[in-house]
Structure 1
Amino acid sequence: MPPEAPLRMPSQPLWTWSKHDVRPLVEPKAWKTPWVSRAFVGVGLVAAVVLGGREMYGVVEVGGVTVLEWALLFLFLVNFSWIALAFASSIVGFVALFGKPAIAEPEAPERLGSRNALVMPIYNEQPSRVFGAIQAIHEDIARLGLGAHFDCFLLSDTTDPDVWIAEERAFLALREALGPEARVFYRHREKNHRRKAGNIEDFVTRWGGSYDHMVIFDADSLMTGHAVTALAAAMEADPDAGIIQTLPLVISRNTLFARVQQFASRVYGPVIAAGIAVWYGRDGNYWGHNAIIRMAAFAGGGGLPDLKGRPPFGGLILSHDFVEAALIRRKGWAVYMLPRIEGSYEESPPSLIDLSQRDRRWCQGNLQHTALLTTRGLYPLSRQHFLNGIFSYLASPFWMFMLLCGIALALQSKFIRPEYFTDEFALFPAWPRFDAERALALFGVTMAILIAPKFFGLIIHLMNGASRRGSGGAFRTLVSAILEIILSSLFAPIMMLVQSGSVFQILAGRATGWNPQRRDDGSIPFGDIVRRHRWHMALGAVTLVTALMIAPSLAGWMSPTIAGLLLAIPLSWLSGHLASGLFLKRLGLMLIPEETTVPPIAAAAREKGALLAARGVDEGEGLAALVADPDFFREHDRMLPVAPSRPRGAPEPERVMAAAKLTEAETLADAVAWLTPKEKTVLLHDRALLSLASRLPAGPASDQREIVGRQL
């Protein structure tokens, strides 16, 4: 790592705030609030909810409104407002993009005046893949002649000791490939305190003083030199900008589920992103990666406190990117999006189960934001971002409750004898009635509003010749869109139950862990799929039987939901099926332009990663690899930080056990066989224990010694 340049990053107060804490604007005349688009979205949302609510009330009020019908009306309004907001926002995006390419390659600036850090936090990732991507980004920026303005940092929070040592091998190979003058650095933290937020905070407080801005990547992020330098130029041109976010498009995906997400991201995503970029204006949000951040803004406004109480609602703030954006905006910095910048890419989970596992962590983080809604000094749209994130998960149980409420009403009308003559005086009996014709019309309008953002995105995509040809032509694009809608409709009820389960678990106090994400392989053992989805399938069968008992028309109305649940197991298996995705690709379906013409940065990242993998950087046992190569051993020793002072009389159990096992071991193979992953991690951080391990002969493991090791 380069010499440290400390930068203070104080924890921000949540419940105390003063207007005097807001920084003065450097260029107040450049600060424009998009009142017209905000008014359109606000009025459109209110009008849609009022009209939808009136129609729904007309459906249920015939003959009087019961408690269950009031509940159904309330749940309908909550869900309808959610899709109405997306509809109004997509209209703004459609108007903003009409007649323009959805994305376009930005011009690289001729010169820059800032120093920028490219920061990639990593956690138990495949080293060749990550380091290959950084090499491709580094070389693409250097090709533009602006490499002197960017330093690359790989910040490891990896907990698997063998992956950690593999990262070091990959880093040394990368430095060898780029030459000794390359400004590429690597740091591994002994303790991954505060997870990703703590990883970035550690970088900012120790090295942030050397840089004006930092570009944040995820481990699956990829950005072209044009995109990175355009962001740096935009930040230089706007002294009041704190965060500038790009729209990362999903690329390089091949499983069926990932290809569905990839197609939706490329075709529909730009219209949705353009809409929120327009009406959010400079009160936007931050998604945690593929964005540039002013170092002074992040250090001065983005320090996160811990929340009171225990997880899942207390403790470390998860989904920290939303909170960082809100606190930075509170300080007076602008946060906005440039969604049309081409060259910002990411990946997506390969299967439905992989998505649900990642979603579980996001669900906890977003629901945790309920405690932050009353944070002092936040701008109204920052609170809206929190509400938007919260409801993105609460929508699933609300949808589920609405379906259950509808079934309960149908059961009531079918099996419970109605009271036609009440105690109240009336000229006519209270015949139970239900306006089926109006209900059908409302259902059609709801579906139209739900699908409209996709329709707008499809029009913009087809209007652009390059995008249309890159997706296989107009006919194949239309077929792909229909297929995407069908598959998404089948996956939706499964995700509804998965997300509802996550919400109920979190409300019950069950916190989540932090597991590394799978990137490519979507195959999951069929037995695991059955165990995960058998209750979903059973619920689908019960719903089908119940609906048929009530009325065949109810079963027809619920058929998309019932079909998705009945097919939960085969759909989940198919979602991670590589051959199915590749079959669609061969047919020219679910194609995106970035597949027809692969971006050079993506091809370069794959090539660099393959070269690193061919050198064996991903393979082998870490401790044995260190001891077998004296040069590597010296480099590892050089990369270790200065040993921290430890309190006397308070030994670490893992350190004590590692020392005891090394003392008992006759060969290195004995030590490797006996050490647990935590003990090996401690050993690899300790120069004294490493020295002890290096003096052991390689030799085979002894059966007797294995017994002693297990006893130890």
Structure 2
Amino acid sequence: MDPVNDQTAAPPVSTPAAMPPERPIAMPPQPLKTWSRGDERSRIRPEAWKTPWGSRAVVFTVSVLATGFGAREMYGVVEVGGVTVLEWALLALFLVNFAWIALAFASGIIGFFALIGRPALSRPELPEKLTTQTALVMPIYNEQPSRVFGAVQAAYDDVKRLGFADHFDCFLLSDTTDPDVWIAEERAFLELRETLGPDARVYYRHRAKNHRRKAGNIEDFVSRWGGAYDHLLIFDADSLMTGHAVIALAAAMEADPDAGIIQTLPLVINRNTLFARVQQFASRVYGPVIAAGIAVWYGRDGNYWGHNAIIRTVAFAEGAGLPDLPGKPPFGGLILSHDFVEAALIRRKGWAVYMLPQIEGSYEESPPSLIDVSQRDRRWCQGNLQHSALLGTAGLHPLSRHHFLNGIFSYLASPFWMFMLLCGIALALQSKFIRPEYFTDEFSLFPAWPRFDAERALALFGITMAILIAPKIFGLIVHLLHGPSRRAGGGTIRIVISAILEIILSSLFAPIMMLVQSGSVFQILAGGATGWNPQRRDDGSIPFADIVRRHRWHTVLGVVALGAGAAIAPSLVAWMSPTIAGLLLAIPLSWLSGHLGSGLALKRLGLMLIPEETNIPEIATAARENGRRLAAAGVDEGDALATVHADEKFFAAHERMLAIAPARKKGVIEADRVMAAAKLSEAETLDDAKAWLTTKEKTIVLQDRALLGLLARLPITPAPTAL
């Protein structure tokens, strides 16, 4: 092995016992305003660096022609009798939205021809040996420990089974802020270590402060331990990867010395609610074609989605250090959607960023309900809109700027769509209730009368829907042509029915998400920043009262739209029927989205079935069984203070896993620590401490060896009173 930064000095005293000795590597923040070609590295194999100009020309040409055709047809719809200001606005909004779906259509064509006649997923041949070291890194934040530790164990065991364990170390990097979950993580880690044996290369680190969130978590690991590893393979808390996929990614990195990031296509599995099964089916059937398309025409100028990808450590350390943006949130401060930015900066440094979507064995999970996905989208929305401040970053590749714009528009599309609908309603109101100005002050042989070409409008609507759905049809065809996938998915008839059902449900969910995302955009533009809450991973319902509260205004808007449309023209109601139906049914649809029974009923009927449910991957079974074993051992349960207090062996292990705290400056008083110490000093029993300490104070106690000593001396029950 040729480590990135060979340092033989003794490890710092702050290294926790649950981690290997530190091997630091510098990770400086990257400049955004200045850049020169001299800062770009030289390519080791320039002959292997091929830009896919042909496929890019196809995507560009198809997108431009389709958009031009749509613009011409829409102009033909509104130009009857002259074009008014509102009609120009409608035309402009339509053009922006149509260009968006035209690009996806063009990319889908590329993906379709890339996959037609071949399996969407495959297992590449494994190398005879590896020569590099890779860290499997899973950042975690207030997650259920049995689930994440069970998944890590499954990946580690699978790599070991294939004979490559010496080349991979597993790291669980905790930013957990809930003290009960933190202590549960430590219990799960110790249980896992005991199961795997003393030689297992599985490690755990908890940060006292989750500075800079996930990006800071990974940056802390890289800057302190990254020098020992050639690559980082980044997992998310719901990620799962087979040993075959892990080894194949490491081999791909070794084979390409110019690669900075190689991204896989993580397929959604293990989902059972209705909404999650819709997403799971779409991911498995349509996802490969979409991913293949962007992989082909992005080439080595691709993007990164934050997990299930391998990164060259030196590329990440030297090129992806993130500065804070000037100003205050939501557009300034910490960069939220850091993965896009890291990919852009690594590409700027001269490293390739690309996707290998056909590697089998890369999985993830998805939110269980419409409300859960909207909560996650709020954070993503702020992060993507924040990229508007990064569009002018010096030295970026044009496609990196495209990735930023693509992410920005993925959320701006919702308010644009909403404004387009409002323009249509306003025009209908104008023609219905406002007396037309037949003859203006300007000389004209004909009256100015706002009219539409209804027949042309209907044809354009059909064309727009066809272009929108086409990538799904491409994916469906590829899926059906692959015999094993077709049979494992329930056969042709069930798969086609499932695709039709997915399109219907997605069309009904779409207007609800349009309003949710539009609201997020408006809040962010008004200066509202978002928090950072853990995601729900389990299938489960949401209280009906919460659903009503979240969707009542969506339903009201649906009623208003229906009433206004009926008063104006029945044809307007027909044109807006998918939107009106989705809004009117927002509350029952949202309830149904998280309903476990509905999803399982479809599964029993063989609908929304994916091959990974018929032939369950061994890694998924192993992860589930590992999680159940850890849960049965009680690692997810219990109060943190009581757990540490009750078990002397665990108390000692917890202390060993704590890093040495930095010396406090004299005269600087930490109010929370002082309060925690005062409460512990006055407490007569453990129950007093549990009742008096706040969540933050509990965390401080568990981080401080002196305060832990005070906790340990507390009795469980009061001392008997002398008579």
Matched residue, 2:300: 282
Matched residue, 2:664: 646
- Unaligned runs of at least 5 residues, structure 1: 703-712
Mapped to 1, the partners of 2:153 and 2:455 lie a distance apart of: 62
Q: 1:67 to 1:701 in 2, by over 3 A?
A: farther
CA contact (8 A) 1:669 1:700 kept: no
Please say if 1:240 is aligned against 2:258: yes
Residues 493-642 of structure 1: pairs in structure 2 closer than 5 A: 493-642=511-660
Mapped to 2, the partners of 1:106 and 1:583 lie a distance apart of: 36
CA shift, 1:305, in A, is: 0.2
Q: Deviations over 1:360-385 (max 9, x none)?
A: 00000000000000000000000000
Please say if 1:423 is aligned against 2:423: no
Please say if 1:149 is aligned against 2:164: no
* One-letter code aligned to 2:705: R
Mapped to 2, the partners of 1:574 and 1:360 lie a distance apart of: 21
Matched residue, 1:176: 194
CA shift, 1:700, in A, is: 6.8
* One-letter code aligned to 1:445: I
Q: Please state whether the residue corresponding to 2:233 is helix, strand or coil.
A: strand
Mapped to 2, the partners of 1:701 and 1:249 lie a distance apart of: 58
Given candidates 688, 697, 701, the residue that maps to 2:715 is 697
Residues 124-203 of structure 1: pairs in structure 2 closer than 5 A: 124-203=142-221
CA contact (8 A) 2:112 2:289 kept: yes
Matched residue, 1:31: 49
Mapped to 2, the partners of 1:420 and 1:637 lie a distance apart of: 85
Given candidates 78, 84, 88, the residue that maps to 1:66 is 84
Q: Please state whether the residue corresponding to 1:616 is helix, strand or coil.
A: coil
Q: Deviations over 1:80-136 (max 9, x none)?
A: 000000000000000000100011122222210000000000000000000000000
CA contact (8 A) 2:123 2:244 kept: yes
CA contact (8 A) 2:174 2:207 kept: yes
Matched residue, 2:472: 454
Q: Deviations over 1:465-491 (max 9, x none)?
A: 111011100000000000000000000
Please say if 1:408 is aligned against 2:438: no
Matched residue, 1:5: 23
Give the percent of matched residue pairs that are identical in Structure 1 and Structure 2: 80
Matched residue, 2:97: 79
Count of residue correspondences = 702
CA shift, 1:424, in A, is: 2.6
Given candidates 227, 231, 234, the residue that maps to 1:209 is 227
Please say if 1:110 is aligned against 2:163: no
Q: Which moved more, 1:649-658 or 1:604-613?
A: 649-658
CA contact (8 A) 2:23 2:224 kept: yes
Q: Please state whether the residue corresponding to 2:253 is helix, strand or coil.
A: helix
CA contact (8 A) 1:94 1:271 kept: yes
Q: Please state whether the residue corresponding to 2:306 is helix, strand or coil.
A: coil
* One-letter code aligned to 2:103: L
CA contact (8 A) 2:684 2:718 kept: no
CA contact (8 A) 2:81 2:447 kept: no
* One-letter code aligned to 1:33: T
User: Following superposition, which runs of at least 4 residues in structure 1 exceed 6 angstroms of deviation?
Assistant: none
Please say if 1:267 is aligned against 2:280: no
CA shift, 1:699, in A, is: 1.7
Matched residue, 1:314: 332
Mapped to 1, the partners of 2:42 and 2:375 lie a distance apart of: 43
CA contact (8 A) 1:72 1:406 kept: yes
Mapped to 1, the partners of 2:408 and 2:450 lie a distance apart of: 38
CA shift, 1:673, in A, is: 1.1
Mapped to 2, the partners of 1:424 and 1:166 lie a distance apart of: 78
Q: Please state whether the residue corresponding to 1:342 is helix, strand or coil.
A: coil
Please say if 1:482 is aligned against 2:500: yes
Please say if 1:42 is aligned against 2:54: no
Q: Please state whether the residue corresponding to 1:681 is helix, strand or coil.
A: helix
Aligned Cα RMSD in Å?
A: 1.0
Q: Please state whether the residue corresponding to 1:588 is helix, strand or coil.
A: coil
Q: Please state whether the residue corresponding to 2:247 is helix, strand or coil.
A: helix
Q: TM-score, normalised by structure 2?
A: 0.96
Q: Please state whether the residue corresponding to 2:556 is helix, strand or coil.
A: helix
CA shift, 1:431, in A, is: 4.3
Mapped to 2, the partners of 1:22 and 1:213 lie a distance apart of: 20
Matched residue, 1:345: 363
- Unaligned runs of at least 5 residues, structure 2: 1-18
Matched residue, 2:140: 122
* One-letter code aligned to 2:128: E
Please say if 1:399 is aligned against 2:386: no
Matched residue, 1:707: none
Q: Deviations over 1:128-186 (max 9, x none)?
A: 00000000000000000000000000000000001000000000000000000000000
Mapped to 2, the partners of 1:701 and 1:568 lie a distance apart of: 59
Please say if 1:435 is aligned against 2:453: yes
Q: TM-score, normalised by structure 1?
A: 0.98
Matched residue, 1:683: 701
Q: Please state whether the residue corresponding to 1:9 is helix, strand or coil.
A: coil
CA contact (8 A) 1:86 1:453 kept: yes
* One-letter code aligned to 2:413: A
CA contact (8 A) 1:673 1:701 kept: no
Matched residue, 2:270: 252
* One-letter code aligned to 1:75: L
Q: Please state whether the residue corresponding to 2:601 is helix, strand or coil.
A: helix
Q: Deviations over 1:233-288 (max 9, x none)?
A: 00000000000000000000000000000000000000000000000000000000
Matched residue, 2:348: 330
